[in-house]
Amino acid sequence: MRRRDILKAIALGSAAAVIRPFDTFDVLAQTGSTAASGNADLVAALGGEPAEMLHQALIELGGIERFVKSGNQVVIKPNIGWDNTPEEAGNANPELVGSLVRLCLDAGATKVNVLDHTCDQWSACYKNSGIEAAVKDAGGEMLPAHDQRAYQEIELPRGKVLKKAKVHRAILESDAWFNVPVLKSHGGAGITVSMKNLMGIVWDRGYFHWHDLHQCIADICTLPKAPTLNIVDAYRVLVHGGPRGGRGKDVVVAKGLFASTDIVAVDTAAARFFGQFRNMPLENIGYLRKGEELPVGTTDLDSLKIKRLKV
Amino acid sequence: MASGKLLRLWRLLRLGRRLCGAAVFILLTLLFVATGDFLPVWAHFTARLQLVPALLAGFWLTLALLLLATVLFGRVYCSFICPLGILQDLLARLYSWRKKREFHYRPSSRAIRLGVVIFFLGALIFGNSVLVTLLEPYSLYGIIAMHYCKQGWIVLNNGLSQYVPLASFFGLYPLPHSNLALSSLLIATFLAVFFSVFVWLRGRDYCGCICPVGTVLGWLGRFALLRIRFDAVRCVHCRRCEQACKTSCVDSGRQLIDYSRCVTCFNCLPVCEHQALAYRLPRLIEKAGNSTLILALKGQVKKPSGPPLLDAKRRQFVGLHLAAVAGMGGLVLAQAKAGIAGSTVATGGQEAGQRAITPPGSRSRAHFSRRCTACQLCVASCPTRVLRPATGEYGFLHVLQPRMDFRHGYCNYDCVVCTQVCPSGAILPLTIQEKHETQAGIVQFVQHLCVVESKKQSCGACAEHCPSLAVKMVSYGKVPGLTIPVITPDLCVGCGACEHACPVVPDKAIYVQGLLVHQKARILPRGQELHQQVEGFGF
């Protein structure tokens, strides 16, 4: 299976290289032929299945080997906050998480742990999101994160409001970790993407809500053990009524994916993408500007080398 | 030859009783230790077989079977099915581990037994309360099992998961403790200590002299078809049978057995070296050849099974029952008062007047209170730890009946575990669809306490947790992106997710007000998948 996946990835990657000249929306990007000379800062993929888009995006970013070395302990932190089905789009896409687990193992990771400090009852979230099954199928392991003893307090000297936080040990002890949020609307924060997803590695979320949510979200992004790569799942987008999916909440099958090491940039890109479905000015998403001020990244997409892929 | 065979038969009977008791006891205890729907559905028969829950739930077939079994075989429920009885058997066995303990015949107080039964039945008829809970054997065991077996297992599990290498590989991860109350812990501790001491002092005298279920079954047991019967000629009054009887109902001297107290444990049968005891049918069905046996039976039939009531005793007996009835009346009045007192509506903060919330499926406070025996099975099974034994929230007469408490969690929208495990019909089974349509409480929003109003900062914790869109965020003020909750009460199911998530302390800015009668919640259609042709990236 794994060999086949690699072959598929290579085939799709070369296919993408062929298609690229026809991508008329590629106006703002660097010149089309730079893929070989340097890695993109931010990759946006559109129109494919989650696994395909992930494979291609990683190729543009320099391959999974750039992030995962042989013998590494890897942690993946998808959004598994809700007891939702994959179709309800409250959680990251299970197919995406599963194929990322497989890629990490193929790159030589000794262990891939997947965890989230869920909002709904954790085992129901793990199970009904489809992520548990996908991860186990791929050879990874689900790690519970509902027990305070699994968390360790760390200092956040660069944080403005959030000066310390209890972060899950598996993240702190990992060699590489992937932040895999799902793009969706959020009643309090506008939208939730990579930065907001970090609330799921923290024990006490109530503090965030009580002490300026946007500033705390920006502050947690200053943690020394920053995510190795942020991969935003925008395959199904919960446009209204998020972040919990469910009754009365329609989902747009947008088939998008964004990836970058710059957590603010990838969220800015995702926010712009989201703006196509619903009016969402960037100034409404307070943590983006606050993140840029700290700084933990940039909202200036023009300063980045962006790769746009149509799969 | 024949005697050896009989002895083997008696040992087999005793072994059968022990095996059946052990199986029921272990399964039932596992039911209390497990969380969610961990155990298969059939394991729940151990709880469904319990007499008082079956009576309250209206499981007439179960009830008829239990009564029929008693008429045929004596008080088999007490030794084969009742977890409290089996627990006492285990304790008695533990106590005679090193040194054999000997029991002796003791008469029972008819006044106490009848008084307890009248109290108990009165409490059942006039609305269930602590009187039922603290006398009903299955629930007593449930309270002990939830507090000690389950929490004990959690302590052990958490130790193992921390110190055993590769614990996660074996699926061991730390578990949170159940949502206990100080009152429930104290009561459970009292019960555990009481039974440990009482069994040490008096064997299974609780079953013989106090338990109302035992007394009612004892009335039937006195006329059971199969009974342990003395053979007067063979008996040498050696008292071995008497010493083996945990309920102290065998009088070897007078060759009497108080059948109202005999729990058919069969312990007396194999110890008799003279085959003077037999578990058998009465003389009518037997062959008429054995004249000594018939004589013995005749003699036995004529004798009264209990001590005669003296005049003084009779007076005491009547007085006690009058007092009991008066007490019942007082309790009924107190209950009626408590019911009215619970109907105030909150005006200020949450603590000012929040009414306790009964779990979904319980229909109304009245339905719930009447049927719940506070066995704690739902509290033990609740995966989100939202159910918690009440202290005074329903009035002190309904102490230990579970309520929804949002301190540690909230009721999962798609979970119906408690409605499936309840053996007494207090929480009726719901499908997930039915649960979505059930409103156990109504959301209340106290805007001046809200972070958005008081600090002009974003939050949205309540709306993000709301599974039914009863709470959603709308634009607020001039700050771009700032939103404040608005509530749509008819969509609310009363799950408490908003209250749990609200960061405001000490009084939450959003909370759930319990309903005395559950209502129907409006539900929104399930979300659609919109396949939209997305052409651009948006940047």
Name the minimum distance, in Å, from the CA of B446 to any CA of chain A: 16
* Closest-CA residue of chain A to B38: A123
**pLDDT-derived band at B171, boundaries 50, 70, 90:** confident
Considering only CA atoms, give the Rg of chain B. 29
| Residue of higher predicted confidence among B71 and B330 | B71
B532 with A243: Cβ contact below 8 A = no
d(CA B391, CA B375): 15
Chain A, chain B: beta-carbon pairs less than 8 Å apart: 167
pLDDT value at position A193? 96
| Residue of higher predicted confidence among A23 and A99 | A99
> Hey, is the C-beta of B539 within 8 angstroms of any chain A C-beta?
yes
A188 with B412: Cβ contact below 8 A = no
pLDDT value at position A11? 57
**A237: closest CA among A211, A208, A271?**
A271
pLDDT value at position B536? 86
Q: Read off the tokens for A68.
A: 């995962």
pLDDT value at position B308? 47
Name the minimum distance, in Å, from the CA of B374 to any CA of chain A: 24
| Residue of higher predicted confidence among B21 and B125 | B21
B539 with A277: Cβ contact below 8 A = no
The pLDDT of residue A10 is above 60: no
> Hey, is the C-beta of B495 within 8 angstroms of any chain A C-beta?
no
> Hey, is the C-beta of A241 within 8 angstroms of any chain B C-beta?
yes
Element (H, E) at A309: strand A306-310
d(CA B453, CA A6): 53
**N-terminal to C-terminal alpha carbon distance within chain B:** 98
- Contact status, residue B31 vs residue B45, Cβ threshold 8 Å: no
pLDDT average, residue stretch B363-371? 92
**pLDDT-derived band at B300, boundaries 50, 70, 90:** very low
Which among A247, A301, A306 is the top mutation candidate for probing chain B, defined by the most B β-carbons within 10 Å of its own β-carbon?
Answer: A247
Q: What DSSP character marks residue A294? A: T
Contact residues for A256 (Cβ-Cβ < 8 A; gap 6+): A44, A45, A46, A53, A183, A232, A234, A235, A237, A273, B534, B537
pLDDT value at position A264? 95
> Hey, is the C-beta of A26 within 8 angstroms of any chain B C-beta?
no
What are the pLDDT digits (tens) for B440-492?
999 999 999 999 999 999 999 999 999 999 999 999 988 888 999 999 999 99
B409 with A25: Cβ contact below 8 A = no
**A142: closest CA among A161, A160, A129?**
A129
What are the pLDDT digits (tens) for B37-94?
788 888 899 999 999 999 999 999 999 999 999 999 999 999 999 999 999 999 999 9
- Contact status, residue A178 vs residue A76, Cβ threshold 8 Å: yes
The pLDDT of residue B398 is above 60: yes
Name the minimum distance, in Å, from the CA of B156 to any CA of chain A: 16
pLDDT value at position A131? 97
Name the minimum distance, in Å, from the CA of B42 to any CA of chain A: 22
> Hey, is the C-beta of B465 within 8 angstroms of any chain A C-beta?
yes
Q: Max alpha carbon distance in chain A (Å)?
A: 53
**What value of ipTM does the predicted structure carry?**
0.85
Mean pLDDT value across chain A: 88
**Top-ranked range on mean pLDDT: pick from A9-23, B38-52, B123-137, B483-497:** B483-497
d(CA B408, CA A115): 21
Which among B458, B474, B482, B502 is the top mutation candidate for probing chain A, defined by the most A β-carbons within 10 Å of its own β-carbon?
Answer: B458
- Contact status, residue B319 vs residue B312, Cβ threshold 8 Å: no
Q: Read off the tokens for A54.
A: 């992930």
| Strand bridging mode A190-192 / A176-180 | unpaired
A146 with B176: Cβ contact below 8 A = yes
- CB contacts under 8 A, B 404-423 vs A, are 409, 412-415
| Strand bridging mode A42-46 / A251-260 | antiparallel
**pLDDT-derived band at A35, boundaries 50, 70, 90:** very low
Which residues in A76-112 are b (16+ Cβ under 10 Å) and which e? bbbbbbbbbbbebbbbbbbbbbbbbbbbbbbbebebb
pLDDT average, residue stretch B342-367? 71
List chain B residues with CB under 8 Å of A173. Answer: none
| Residue of higher predicted confidence among B268 and A36 | B268
Q: Read off the tokens for B338.
A: 């408590």
What are the pLDDT digits (tens) for A186-233?
999 999 999 999 999 999 999 999 999 999 999 999 999 999 999 999
The pLDDT of residue A8 is above 90: no
> Hey, is the C-beta of A286 within 8 angstroms of any chain B C-beta?
yes
- The DSSP-derived string for A277-292 is TS---GGGSHHHHHHH
Q: What DSSP character marks residue A220? A: H
Q: Which of A209, A250, A274 sits opposite B503 (nearest CB)?
A: A209
Strand partners, A114: A76, A142
What are the pLDDT digits (tens) for B427-439?
999 999 999 999 9
Amino acid at A44: A
**B83: closest CA among B37, B56, B48?**
B48
**pLDDT-derived band at B295, boundaries 50, 70, 90:** very low
Name the minimum distance, in Å, from the CA of A36 to any CA of chain B: 23
List chain B residues with CB under 8 Å of A150. Answer: 174
The pLDDT of residue B343 is above 50: no
What are the pLDDT digits (tens) for A144-162?
999 888 999 999 999 999 9
Give the least confident one: A108-117, B143-152, B328-337, B520-529.
B328-337
User: C-alpha distances in angstroms, B168 versus A74, B27, B185?
Assistant: 16, 26, 30
pLDDT value at position A235? 95
Mean pLDDT value across chain B: 86
3-state secondary structure (DSSP) of residue B443? strand
pLDDT value at position B169? 67
* Closest-CA residue of chain A to B537: A273
- The DSSP-derived string for B288-346 is TT-HHHHHHHHHHHHS-SSPPPPHHHHHHHHHHHHHHHHHHHHHHHHHHHHHHHTT---
| Strand bridging mode A141-142 / A111-114 | parallel
List chain B residues with CB under 8 Å of A46. Answer: 534, 537
- CB contacts under 8 A, A 247-266 vs B, are 247-256
d(CA B47, CA B31): 9
d(CA B479, CA B490): 30
